[in-house]
Structures are given as structure tokens and as C-alpha cells.
Amino acid sequence: MIKIVGALLIICGTAAWGMSSVARMKNRVITLRSLITSLDIMRDEICVNLTPLPKVMELTGKAAPKPAGKFFRNVASKTDDIPQQGFFGIWMQALDDGCGMTLEEDERDVLIRLGSGLGKYDCDSQGRVIMTAKKSLERIEERAEKDKNANSKLHAFLGIAAGMMAVVVLI
């Protein structure tokens, strides 16, 4: 009986690992899509309405889908700290907070570059900074989507299979 329970626990554990890997791939795509939508909202506010950044963050936070919306709301909530940390400082802090976003190194780098360019220069340059970030995120999203379609079933299978293999070896 104990062996059966142990075997089930091992299989469940490795299956959960596989499923979390699949969930991570799905969440990454959702995060990337929400960020891409956010950048469109942001660009309109900055380039068309010349809205100051704290307000841009607030409006983007309200209008953008999850989880990017939460990230922008987090940035907006920290804008009182601009005199202490500067905008880039609070942007980085919000990025470190995560805000429910699933980010890999590539998209994190894109967001860091975006944060370092926001608020500076004129509207045209702001538009270019945002568009460059958007294109980079779109490329990453395309790759992430392919990756998800190609590997999600494999990861789920591998999770269960690894558990069964471990059970066979141990028994």
C-alpha cells in the first residue's frame, strides 16, 4: 500500500513539474501579448496626447489586459518616488516585483531598454523607442508561441513519463 501511495506521489510530483512547465509557456505568451497591447496604448498617450508619464502609466494600467496592466499600475503607484530614484529606478523596481508576469531574459532585456528610454527626448523619439520595443516583443512572442505549440504536449508527457520511470526504477 505504501509503495502504491509513494509511486502515485512521485508520478503526481513529476507530472506537476511538467504541467507547470506547460503553464509557464502559456503564461509567457499571454504576458507578451498583453505587453504588446500596452505599448500601443502607451504610444498613443505619449505621442498623440503628450500625457506625462505618471498619467500614462496609470491609464495604461487601467486599459491594458492582465498581467501587463498590473505591472503598469505598479509603476504608476511608485511615481511619487521619481525625485528619489528617477523613473528608470521605479521601472526596474516594478520589473523586479514581477506583478504576475512570466518573463524570460529576452523580453526582460527589451523592457529594460524601453524603461531607460521612456520620458526622454521628443515625441518622435519616444514613438521610435516604443515601436522598437514592440517589434522586439512581437518577434519574441512569435517564437514563444511556436515553442509553446511544439513543446507543451512534450513537457506534459515528459513529466508523467519521468515519474513512471522513477517509480519503475525505485520498485
* Least gap, CB of 134 to another protein (angstroms): 17
Identify the residue among 51, 93, 136, 151 touching another protein (CB under 8 A): 51
C-alpha 165/C-alpha 118 separation (Å) is: 51
C-alpha 26/C-alpha 145 separation (Å) is: 8
* Least gap, CB of 71 to another protein (angstroms): 17
C-alpha 117/C-alpha 132 separation (Å) is: 11
Q: What residues between 79 and 108 interact with another protein by CB under 8 A?
A: 79, 82-84, 86-87
* Least gap, CB of 53 to another protein (angstroms): 5
Grid cell in block for residue 37: 497591447
Q: Which is nearer to another protein, 45 or 141 (CB)?
A: 45
Q: Is 126 in the site for another protein (CB under 8 A)?
A: yes
- The single residue listed with the C-alpha cell 525505485 is 170
The three-point CA angle 112-116-117 to 5° equals: 120
C-alpha 63/C-alpha 69 separation (Å) is: 7
Identify the residue among 54, 61, 69, 163 touching another protein (CB under 8 A): 54
- The single residue listed with the C-alpha cell 520498485 is 171
Identify the residue among 4, 6, 9, 125 touching another protein (CB under 8 A): 125
* Least gap, CB of 151 to another protein (angstroms): 40
* Least gap, CB of 77 to another protein (angstroms): 14
CA 74 vs CA 5, 11, 55, 86: distances in Å: 44, 39, 12, 15
Chain residues binding another protein by CB under 8 A are 46, 50-54, 56, 79, 82-84, 86-87, 118-123, 125-126
